[in-house]
């Protein structure tokens, strides 16, 4: 018997076919990644997207608010103090403002006339040009502050600008505009998004790696178990897998080992059964054939010899009939045709009829059959059951007691009422049953170490009949020697 471990090595047996587990591994990994890893990765990707949108909105919103606040402050000063003095006063103040503007390295301050042309700017290069951005036209036409973000129509550089109208006597005379490059902000946003993307990518890598390690630790043992199960299904009954896990995989391995052991035992018992039945059929047939020829060819016609031969032929015929009956009952058990015909049964009467029948038979073999009722005055009410099947059980148990315990020359039978059930006990005074064989004694085909003739399915049939009646069929060893069989059947209405 080989033992397979989860490293793919087997002692005493060849390894499973190499191509067996590949489709299984691939399919299970794919389903695991699809159902477990993919949703996690999707959530992480959505996190990156939402973070990118959020960080961009935060930076751009903060920047726009800062520009709007600065533009509002400068424009309010101009509208309140400098627009009433005419163009010269306005122009001089605009030049002074651009010269004194502290943030000119980061922000460009522009003063634009009503035609959209730059009059004064902190960057002398843009003076006299027309920016052409829509924030200027909206400030001029709507008389309210307007913002712009996007490529500069002149240079193509990504910028943010805020234009505030300059008003005198209710009319827009021009626009004060602050402009800044988005290069640093864009770079900051990209760096932030890139950092988060790298973190998320690392998380996705860790998730994928840990899941692959986990699924490999699950799939590879499952593949090994699958290979071992295939070997068992191909006929390597009794094959066992080395148990190296204490979790669900360990339980799976233990279940397969138990299955393999039981299949091996059943196959062994079936082989022994075929051999035993062949022998059991051959022996009575030989006796019948031999005595038939002896009687036929006996010229003297000795009546004593003839009666002896006929008795042997009848006994062997009865043995053959019992064996065939057991085989038929077993066949019905296997294909589900084993049924009961329930009616009211006087169990005591059925038991006493069987004892009356077997007492003389056992007497001829030198076995005393004793019968006792627990309480002579106790009335045993009828029970629901199949009388033919119950009688079959009683007769089989009595016959079995004589066959295996007849060496004790004594069999005792009792009938009791216990806890709403009627219990028949049949005890022999023979050698008893080896303790190691007791758990298997009711299994079909099992004969154990007994050399007595039989098919090995009689007790299995009895157990099935009693179970169908809702009762219990137990076999054990009695104190003082011998075996005892208990047949417990529930009373009607219990």
CATH number at residue 123: 3.30.450.20
Same domain, 397 and 305: no
Residue 424: the pLDDT is 93
Mark which of 305, 334, 363 sits at the end of a domain.
334
Biggest CA pair distance of the chain: 166
Q: What is the pLDDT of residue 20?
A: 38
> 422 and 391 in one domain?
yes
Specify if 36 maps to a domain: no
Domain identity same for 286 and 358: no
Residue 289 resides in a domain: yes
Tell me, yes or no, whether 306 and 383 share the same domain.
no
- Please give the Cα distance from 437 to 305 (Å, whole number): 42
Judge if 412 and 434 occupy the same domain. yes
In a domain, residue 7? The reply is no
> What is the 3 state secondary structure string of the chain?
CCEECCCCCEECCCCCCCCCCHHHHHHHHHHHHHHHHHHHHHHHHHHHHHHHHHHHHHHHHHHHHHHHHHHHHHHHHHHHHHHHHHHHHHHHHHHHHHHHCCCCCCEEEEEEECCCCEEEECCHHHCCCCCCCHHHHHHHHHCCCEEEEEECCCCCCEEEEEEEEEEECCEEEEEEEEEEECHHHHHHHHHHHHHHHHHHHHHHHHHHHHHHHHHHHHHHHHHHHHHHHHHHHCCCCCCEECCCCCCHHHHHHHHHHHHHHHHHHHHHHHHHHHHHHHHHHHHHHHHHHHHHHHHHHCCCCCHHHHHHHHHHHHHHHHHHHHHHHHHHHHHHHHHCCCCCCCEEECHHHHHHHHHHHHHHHHHHCCCEEEEEECCCCCCCCCEEECHHHHHHHHHHHHHHHHHHHHHHCEEEEEEEEECCEEEEEEEECCCCCCHHHHHHCCCCCCCCCCCCCCCCCHHHHHHHHHHHCCCEEEEEECCCCCEEEEEEEECCCC
Burial class (CB in 10 A: 0-12, 13-18, 19+), 221: buried
CATH number of the CATH domain containing 474? 3.30.565.10
CATH of the domain at 274: 1.10.287.130
pLDDT of residue 5: 44
Whether 44 is in a domain gets the answer no
Q: Are 370 and 393 found together in one domain? A: yes
Same domain, 343 and 308: no
Q: What is the pLDDT along the chain (494 residues), one digit of tens a residue?
A: 444 443 333 333 334 444 334 344 456 677 777 777 788 888 888 888 898 888 888 888 888 898 888 888 888 877 776 666 566 677 778 888 888 888 888 888 888 888 888 888 888 767 778 888 889 889 888 889 999 988 888 788 888 999 998 887 778 888 888 998 888 888 888 888 899 889 988 988 888 888 878 777 777 777 777 777 787 777 776 677 776 667 777 777 778 788 877 777 777 767 766 776 676 677 778 878 888 888 888 777 778 778 888 888 887 887 778 777 767 776 776 666 677 888 999 999 899 888 888 888 888 888 899 888 755 556 788 899 989 889 888 988 998 888 877 777 889 999 988 888 999 999 998 888 888 888 878 776 666 656 555 556 778 888 888 998 999 999 989 888 889 999 999 986 44
In a domain, 35, yes or no: no
Instruction: Out of 317, 334, 351, pick the residue that ends a domain.
Output: 334
pLDDT of residue 85: 59
Would you state the structure tokens that stand for residue 129, as one six-digit string? 């040009």
Q: Where does a domain end: 306, 334, 362?
A: 334
Does residue 478 belong to any structural domain of this protein? yes
Is residue 431 situated within a structural domain?
yes
- Distances in Å between the Cα of 62 and the Cα atoms of 22, 50, 66, 136 are 57, 18, 6, 21
For the beta carbon of residue 338, count every other beta carbon within 10 angstroms: 16
Same structural domain for residues 375 and 315? no
313 and 354, same domain (yes or no): no
Given a contact cutoff of 8 angstroms between Cβ atoms, the answer to whether 152 and 124 are in contact is no
Contact criterion met (CB below 8 Å) for 424 and 486:
yes
- Across 289-304, b (16+ Cβ under 10 Å) vs e yields eebeeebeeeeeeeee
In terms of residue numbers, what domain contains 437? 339-490
What pLDDT does 280 receive?
63
For residue 59, tell me if it sits in a domain. no
Q: What is the pLDDT of residue 471?
A: 92
In which residue are the tokens 């935060």 written? 58
The number of domains in the chain is 3
Report the pLDDT value the prediction gives residue 455, as an integer from 0 to 100.
55
Between the alpha carbon of residue 155 and those of residues 47, 115, 147, 207, the distances in Å are 35, 20, 18, 46
Both 292 and 378 in one domain: the answer is no
Residues 303 and 362 in one domain: no
Tokens of 295: 């009687």
Domain shared by 317 and 380, yes or no? no
């Amino acid at each position: 018997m080989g033992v397979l471990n989860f490293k793919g090595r087997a002692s005493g047996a060849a390894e499973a076919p190499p191509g067996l587990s590949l489709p299984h591994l691939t399919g299970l990994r794919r389903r695991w990644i699809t159902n477990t890893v993919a949703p996690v990765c999707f959530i992480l990707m959505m996190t990156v997207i939402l973070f990118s949108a959020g960080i961009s909105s935060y930076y751009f919103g903060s920047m726009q608010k800062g520009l709007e606040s600065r533009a509002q402050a400068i424009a309010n000063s101009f509208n309140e103090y400098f627009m009433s003095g005419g163009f010269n006063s306005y122009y001089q103040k605009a030049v002074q403002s651009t010269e004194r503007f502290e943030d000119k390295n980061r922000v460009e301050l522009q003063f634009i006339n009503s035609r959209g042309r730059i009059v004064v700017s902190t960057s002398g290069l843009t003076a006299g040009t027309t920016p052409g951005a829509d924030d200027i036209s909206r400030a001029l036409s709507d008389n309210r502050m307007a913002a712009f973000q996007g490529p500069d129509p002149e240079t193509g550089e990504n910028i943010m600008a805020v234009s505030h109208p300059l008003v005198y006597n209710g009319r827009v005379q021009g626009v004060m505009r602050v402009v800044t490059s988005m290069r640093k902000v864009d770079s900051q946003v990209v760096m932030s998004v890139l950092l988060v993307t790298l973190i998320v990518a690392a998380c996705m890598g860790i998730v994928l790696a840990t899941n692959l390690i986990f699924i490999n630790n699950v799939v590879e043992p499952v593949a090994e178990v699958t290979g071992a199960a295939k070997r068992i299904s191909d006929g390597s009954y009794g094959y066992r897998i080395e148990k190296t896990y204490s979790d669900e995989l360990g339980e799976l391995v233990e279940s397969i080992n138990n299955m393999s052991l039981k299949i091996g035992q059943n196959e062994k018992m079936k082989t022994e059964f075929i051999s035993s039945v062949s022998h059991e059929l051959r022996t009575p047939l030989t006796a019948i054939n031999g005595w038939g020829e002896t009687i036929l060819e006996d010229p003297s016609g000795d009546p004593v010899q003839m009666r002896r031969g006929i008795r042997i032929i009848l006994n062997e015929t009865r043995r053959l009939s019992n064996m065939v009956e057991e085989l038929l009952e077993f066949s019905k058990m296997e294909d589900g045709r084993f049924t009961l015909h329930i009616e009211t049964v006087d169990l005591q009467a059925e038991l006493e009829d069987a004892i009356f029948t077997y007492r003389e038979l056992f007497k001829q073999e030198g076995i005393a059959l004793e019968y006792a009722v627990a309480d002579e005055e106790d009335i045993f009410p009828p029970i629901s059951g199949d009388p033919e099947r119950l009688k079959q059980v009683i007769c089989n148990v009595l016959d079995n007691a004589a066959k295996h315990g007849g060496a004790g020359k004594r069999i005792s039978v009792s009938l009791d009422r216990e806890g709403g059930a009627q219990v028949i006990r049949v005890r022999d005074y023979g050698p008893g049953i080896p303790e190691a064989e007791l758990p298997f004694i009711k299994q079909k085909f099992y004969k154990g170490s007994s050399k007595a003739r039989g098919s090995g399915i009689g007790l299995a049939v009895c157990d099935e009949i009693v179970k169908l009646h809702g009762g219990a069929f137990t076999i054990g060893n009695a104190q003082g020697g011998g075996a005892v069989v208990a047949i417990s059947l529930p009373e009607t209405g219990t």
